[in-house]
Amino acid sequence: MPNWNEVIVEIQQARQNNPNVNPLDTVRRKYLKKVSEITGRNTIAYYSGWLQKPKAPGTAVGDKDKSGFMLGINKLDRSQGLDLILHTPGGDIAATESLVDYLYSMYDKDIRVIVPQISMSAGTMIAFASKEIVMGKHSNLGPIDPQMGGLACQAVLNEFEQAKEDIRQNPHSASLWQVIIGKYHPTFLGACKQAIEWSEKMVSDWLENNMCDGDMKRVKNIVDTFSNHSIQKSHARHISKKECKEVGLEISDLENDQDLQDAVLTTHHAFMHTFSNTHCVKIIENHEGIAYIEQATPPQIK
C-alpha cells in the first residue's frame, strides 16, 4: 500500500488521468473501501481536520455529526456490523452521548473502533462504547475528564478544596484566595461536579454493557484512570496503546494484520491530504463513498 508520499503521487496521477473528477475523493474512497473489503464489515471514517486547521470552527464532535452518520449508515447492511475509524479531538458531551445512542440503535453492540492516530476526549469516550479498539504503536487515546470553558472540571474542584484547607489553616490567606476563585461564576462549581458525574456514569454504562461485559472492577479501573486529572495531569495527554492495554481496555494490535494496517494507514494519509488541500474541516464517509463533508468558510479577499 502507498505511504504518505506515494499517496501524493497517486493523487497527482489521478488528477492528470481524469481532470473532471476530484482526485482527493477518488484516492480516499478507494482505500476506505479496501478496509471494508479486508474486514468484511461496514466501515465509516469519522475524521476531523483540527490538526491542519486548529482554529477552524466545526472540527469538534457536535450535534450536526448525527446527520453525517445517518447519511453514511442509510442503505448499509447492518448485519455486517460497523468498523468506525476515529480521528478527532473530541467535543460536546451531550452530542457524544446522543451519537453513541444512535449507533447502538443501528448496530447494537457490534461496533469496533479503529484509531489510526489520535482519538481524544469525547473521541475516547466513543471508543469506550465499542466492543474492541484497534490501535497501532503510533495510536493514542486521551483523558476523558470533562472540560468547561477550557478548564478541567476536576482541577477547578481541587482548587476550591485547596482554598478551603488553606483558609482553615491560615485565615489571612482568604483575601488571596478570593481573588483566585472570584473568577468563577456562582454556579460553576456545581456545573463542574455534574459534568464529572454525567461523563463517568455514561462511559461506565457503555463499558459495562459492551467491552467489559459486566466486569465492574475492570470498568472502575478504566474510568478512574482516564478521568483522573491528578493522574493524567493534562487533558491533552496522549495515552499509548501499551497503557490502554494495561488499564484493561480490549485492545487489538493493528500490526497483527498487515493488509489491514496498510489499508488503514493509507486511508489515513488520504484523509490528511484532503484536509491539507481543501477547506474541509470534517468528513464522515462510508466505504461506498457516501460522504457528509463540512467546510470552513474561506477568508474573504479584499
Residues 30-50: tens digit of each pLDDT: 999 999 999 999 999 999 999
Q: Residues 66, 129: one domain? A: yes
Q: Residues 122, 255: one domain? A: yes
Confidence at residue 235, expressed as pLDDT on a 0 to 100 scale: 81
CA distance 270 to 263: 11
Q: Each residue of 165-211: pLDDT tens digit?
A: 777 788 777 777 777 676 777 777 777 788 888 889 999 999 999 99
Q: Residues 116, 2: one domain? A: yes
Q: Residues 160, 136: one domain? A: no
Of 211, 232, 253, the last residue of a domain is 232
Q: Residues 29, 123: one domain? A: yes
Of 205, 232, 259, the last residue of a domain is 232
* CATH number of the structural domain spanning residue 273: 3.90.226
Report the DSSP beta bridge partners of residue 84.
Answer: 44, 113
Q: Residues 191, 300: one domain? A: no
Q: What is the mean pLDDT of the chain?
A: 90
Q: Residues 2, 115: one domain? A: yes
CA distance 254 to 135: 5
First to last CA, the chain: 44
Among 2, 33, 247, 7, which Cα is nearest to 135's?
Answer: 247
Q: Residues 128, 259: one domain? A: yes
Confidence at residue 1, expressed as pLDDT on a 0 to 100 scale: 64
Among 260, 251, 241, which Cα is nearest to 41's?
Answer: 260
Half-sphere exposure of 131 (CA within 13 A, CB side): 11
Residue matched to cell numbers 473521541: 123
Of 199, 215, 232, the last residue of a domain is 232
Least confident range of 79-83, 165-169, 292-296? 165-169
In the structure, what pLDDT confidence band is assigned to residue 298 with cuts at 50, 70 and 90?
Answer: low
Q: Residues 58, 181: one domain? A: no
Q: Residues 106, 163: one domain? A: no
Host domain of residue 166: 145-232
The one-letter amino acid code at 84 reads L
Helices marked H in the chain — which ranges?
4-17, 23-39, 65-73, 93-107, 122-128, 153-169, 174-181, 188-209, 216-227, 229-232, 241-247, 258-277
In the structure, what pLDDT confidence band is assigned to residue 300 with cuts at 50, 70 and 90?
Answer: very low
Q: Each residue of 5-16: pLDDT tens digit?
A: 888 888 998 888
Q: DSSP characters for 86-114?
A: EEB--B-HHHHHHHHHHHHHHHTT-EEEE
Residues 26/273, Cβ–Cβ less than 8 Å: no
CA distance 76 to 74: 6
Q: Residues 216, 291: one domain? A: no
Tally of domains in the chain: 2
Among 30, 247, 216, 225, which Cα is nearest to 133's?
Answer: 247
C-alpha distances in angstroms, 200 versus 31, 125, 187, 219, 236? Answer: 36, 10, 20, 10, 18
Among 99, 4, 119, which Cα is nearest to 51's?
Answer: 119
Q: Residues 109, 156: one domain? A: no
The one-letter amino acid code at 70 reads M
Non-local (6+) Cβ contacts of 168 within 8 A are none
